[in-house]
Amino acid sequence: MSQPDLYAVLGVSRDADADTIKKAYRKLARQLHPDVNPDPDASARFQEIGRAYEVLSDPQKRAAYDRGGDPFGGMGAGFGQGAGFSFTDIMDAFFGGQAAGQSRGPRPRTRRGQDALIRLEIELAEAAFGVTRELKVDTAVVCSTCHGEGTSPGTHAQTCETCRGAGEVAHVQRSFLGEIRTLRPCAACRGFGTIIPDPCRECSGDGRVRSRRTLTVKIPAGVDTGTRVQLADEGEVGPGGGPPGDLYVEIHVARHPVFTRQGNDLHCTVTVPMTAAALGTTLELPTLEADVVPPDGGSTDLETTFELDVRPGTQSGTEQVLRGRGVPGLRGGRGDLVVTIAVETPTRLGPREEELLRELAAIRGEEQPSAKLKAGSPRKGAFGRLRDAFNAH
Ligand SMILES: [Zn+2]
Ligand SMILES: [Zn+2]
């Protein structure tokens, strides 16, 4: 099996130090993480860089790799496999893939932790303009008693006597093909190569404990339901106090009583009386910014109202687009505010009102209006408006 050059996978030179390797890995992991990169190739690449990092971040495995050994060989593969031979075992034993006697080194006690995901519900205005929130998170953190070592204070892990620190032992079994020697993870130390004689009482030797802590999270302006905000190194600490994974905060935007969001545009409906729609008027309406109260309660340069010009003769269903009054985009720009005007027909007329309306109807010759049938629905899309424009000629 040909193996990719692990240094090339991470894009580092062969003499790169541990810090450089870690930085290179983190940078790639951020680009390729399946949560942020939907490209199917990215997922395979993400696993590839994970495997490369697993080896190059571990001094023993890296040394084994540099010597030309297979640092992945059988890592944990022997666990729970039972006594039988698999076809791979036999092929490996005969063709040298897993030749007995060739050391692959123990598996590390310290491994990178997993990413964590939490959900956060925020208001529409907070999603639009950004917000800073305190979050309670419950993750594994490094055990403060043993600092991740897993050993009782004053004691240390000791080399396993069964495997002499190799983490694996040779198995010899007979089969119809002859004697087969395979390397299996050492049962005494579970492949670690070391034994903790006196585990830390706080973490039972795991090097990490669960802890609830409060994090301050800055949610950028323009997020929407489903957006994941990444907090590097705030996820689970790994076994043996290993480097932490990342924490992802998945945003869920609550429904707003007035504004609905479509992409970066905001939509709302305003009702105006029939008389105002006929005569025209100007309305002052609250913007989404009105929801944002400055923390100090002081003045703000946000525009909390906007003027809507209702032209004389406005029809019910008319849309007015206010450019740049929508939600700011995550990558700049801002959507529009689309206001739909609904004309309210008066109900329960007083005697004088009815008299005036009847008089108006008489003047306009509308006492016995003839029904005019038209195609389409009163709420026209862009196509409907276009068709109307053609029909007008
Ligand atoms: Zn501990
Ligand atoms: Zn052992």
pLDDT (0 to 100) of residue 173: 79
From the CA of 195, the nearest ligand is 2
Residue where the block lists tokens 């390729």? 32
Within 13 A of 17's CA, how many CA atoms are on the CB side? 1
From the CA of 193, the nearest ligand is 2
Contacts 24+ apart (CB under 8 A), 20-23: 21/53, 21/56, 21/57, 22/53, 22/57, 22/243
What is the whole-number distance in angstroms between the Cα of residue 234 and the centre of ligand 1?
A: 19
What is the whole-number distance in angstroms between the Cα of residue 108 and the centre of ligand 2?
A: 12
Average pLDDT, the chain: 83
pLDDT (0 to 100) of residue 298: 56
What is the whole-number distance in angstroms between the Cα of residue 110 and the centre of ligand 2?
A: 16
pLDDT tens digits for range 247-305: 999 999 999 999 999 999 999 999 999 999 999 999 999 999 888 866 555 556 778 88
At 154, is the secondary structure helix, strand, or coil? coil
From the CA of 204, the nearest ligand is 1
Separation in Å, CA 331 to CA 221, 289, 327, 369:
9, 19, 11, 54
Separation in Å, CA 95 to CA 61, 87, 89, 105, 284:
23, 12, 10, 20, 82
What is the whole-number distance in angstroms between the Cα of residue 109 and the centre of ligand 1?
A: 13
User: From CA 188, how far away is CA 204, in angstroms rounded?
Assistant: 17
What is the whole-number distance in angstroms between the Cα of residue 138 and the centre of ligand 1?
A: 18
Q: What residues are neighbours of ligand 1 (ion), with CB under 5 Å?
A: 143, 145-146, 200, 202-203
What is the whole-number distance in angstroms between the Cα of residue 201 and the centre of ligand 1?
A: 6
pLDDT (0 to 100) of residue 151: 95
At 221, is the secondary structure helix, strand, or coil? coil
pLDDT (0 to 100) of residue 231: 94
From the CA of 191, the nearest ligand is 2
pTM comes to 0.61
User: From CA 316, how far away is CA 333, in angstroms rounded?
Assistant: 30
From the CA of 161, the nearest ligand is 2
pLDDT (0 to 100) of residue 189: 93
Residue 352 has pLDDT above 60, yes or no: yes
What is the whole-number distance in angstroms between the Cα of residue 105 and the centre of ligand 2?
A: 11
Residue 330 has pLDDT above 80, yes or no: yes
From the CA of 163, the nearest ligand is 2
Could you tell me what percent of the chain has a pLDDT over 70? 83
From the CA of 165, the nearest ligand is 2
What is the whole-number distance in angstroms between the Cα of residue 195 and the centre of ligand 2?
A: 8
What is the whole-number distance in angstroms between the Cα of residue 142 and the centre of ligand 1?
A: 8
From the CA of 145, the nearest ligand is 1
99: confidence class by pLDDT, cuts 50, 70, 90: very low
What is the whole-number distance in angstroms between the Cα of residue 161 and the centre of ligand 2?
A: 6
pLDDT tens digits for range 37-53: 777 788 888 888 888 88
Q: Are 189 and 163 in contact (CB under 8 A)?
A: yes
From the CA of 166, the nearest ligand is 2
User: From CA 224, how far away is CA 100, in angstroms rounded?
Assistant: 56
Chain-centre distance of CA 103, in angstroms?
40
What is the whole-number distance in angstroms between the Cα of residue 9 and the centre of ligand 1?
A: 34
102: confidence class by pLDDT, cuts 50, 70, 90: very low
pLDDT (0 to 100) of residue 105: 77
Residue 85 has pLDDT above 50, yes or no: no
pLDDT (0 to 100) of residue 33: 79
Which residues contact residue 15 at a Cβ distance below 8 angstroms, ignoring those fewer than 6 apart? none
User: From CA 277, how far away is CA 360, in angstroms rounded?
Assistant: 16
379: confidence class by pLDDT, cuts 50, 70, 90: low
What is the whole-number distance in angstroms between the Cα of residue 305 and the centre of ligand 2?
A: 72
From the CA of 159, the nearest ligand is 2
pLDDT (0 to 100) of residue 331: 86
What is the whole-number distance in angstroms between the Cα of residue 68 and the centre of ligand 2?
A: 23
pLDDT (0 to 100) of residue 39: 78
Q: Which pair of structure tokens corresponds to residue 1?
A: 């099996």
Q: Is 164 left (phi over 0), alpha (psi -120 to 50) or beta?
A: left
> Which candidate, 49, 217, 61, places its Cα nearest to that of 137?
217
pLDDT tens digits for range 141-170: 999 999 999 999 999 999 999 999 999 998
Q: What is the DSSP string of 76-118?
A: TTTTT--SSPPHHHHHHHHHTTT-TT----PPPS--PPPPEEE
